[in-house]
Amino acid sequence: MPNPQPFRIPAQRVPLLVPDQDIMSREWYRFFNRKPRHGSFFDTTTQTALATNTAYAVTFNNTASSFGINRGTPTSRIVVPDTSTYNVEFSLQVDKTSGSNSLVYVWPRINGFDVPDSASRARVKDNNDEQVLAWNFMLDMQGGSYFELMWATSNTNVQLLAEPATAFCPAIPSAILTVFEVSL
């Protein structure tokens, strides 16, 4: 049986070492030392919807940790530095202050455009009902792009609730978001 030909990527060959200097080339140094980007953000304010069935961007007023992924302007925008795939995980503290059953919708938006087939819906039932909505998205993004976490509700009595610390537990952010680069 003949030996199979190795797969070759048609690209410029880059030497591992810089000629006559015995140091690693910049391209290979970046390849070997590349760390995945990440960011963790949260918001300490209660976020409200002024109108029903209207898209609102979830804002984040604090950064817990970040390596290469940052909050933009406005603070609802999360900016990624590299073309890659990102795992976006979030939790929202949803509270209904009064009224009957209400719906809450959540979806991602990249560079101002809704991601197709990405929305989810949850029902908040009774008066003073509270729920934590949490799930994740895998987003393919270009370097320098931004995404936003969007939400809408069928009732303006639904809010993303932040609560202060108590004697027995820390404060509750209205929104928590973590972003991890999953492909290099």
What is the number of other CB atoms lying within 10 angstroms of the CB of residue 47?
Answer: 19
- Predicted TM-score (pTM) of this structure: 0.81
Taking alpha carbons only, the member of 44, 76, 39 closest to residue 160 is 44
What is the number of other CB atoms lying within 10 angstroms of the CB of residue 13?
Answer: 5
Average pLDDT, 10 consecutive residues per value, the chain (184 residues): 53 70 69 80 98 98 96 97 94 92 96 97 88 95 96 96 96 97 80
Q: List, in sequence order, the alpha helices (H) in the chain.
A: 26-32
Predicted local confidence at residue 79, as pLDDT: 98
